[in-house]
Amino acid sequence: MTLVGIGVLLIGMAFIILAIFIGHALNNLAGVLSGIDKTVQQLPKQLDNVFKETGNMISESNNTLVDVNDKLHQLSPLFYIVGDVGNATRKFSSSLVDVTDSVKTKTDDGNDVADSNKLGGLYGSFALGYYWLKKRQEMKKAKGEFTDGNQS
């Protein structure tokens, strides 16, 4: 065999090995494409189920929304009543605040007059003196009844 024959033989063997690898890769590709074909064939059935469930879900959502709206319409008068009660309470409390402020202002004015005239201590002294006087009269009266009771 000559060198050309050996070269042709090596090239032939390389082509056979290359053909075996390419055949194996194509066989794997055919398996993958077969799986894709099965998946694509099942896709319309799965999409039909998905669309059917989506339609049911939208229908239930609409029913729930109608029910919620109906219940809100039924509760609206209650909300108006609560709002009216809140407004009445706010008005009442604001009038109480006004009365309290006016009483506080009058009291502050009286304290200012007493402080400016230095009458606070004087009024306190008169009140204490009056209290002692009344207490002393009660004690004398009680003592007189006690001595009258012993003599009898």
pLDDT in tens, 9-55: 999 999 999 999 999 999 999 999 999 999 999 989 989 999 999 99
Q: What is the pLDDT of residue 95?
A: 80
123 or 6, greater pLDDT: 6
134 or 99, greater pLDDT: 134
The pLDDT tens digits for 63-83 are: 999 999 998 888 888 778 888
Dist. CA 4–CA 68, nearest whole Å:
91
Model confidence at 142, in pLDDT bands (50, 70, 90)? Answer: confident
3-class secondary-structure state, position 152: coil
Instruction: State the pTM of this model.
Output: 0.37
Q: What value, to the nearest 5°, has the Cα angle with vertex 119 and ends 113 and 122?
A: 165
User: What are 36-45's contacts with CB under 8 Å, separation 24+?
Assistant: none
Model confidence at 118, in pLDDT bands (50, 70, 90)? Answer: low
Could you state, in order of their start, the residue ranges of all structural domains in the chain?
3-144
Q: What is the pLDDT of residue 152?
A: 46
4 contact partners, CB below 8 Å, separation of at least 6 = none
Q: What is the pLDDT of residue 115?
A: 60
Retrieve residue 97's tokens. Answer: 């605040």
Q: Give the residue-averaged pLDDT of 111-127.
A: 62
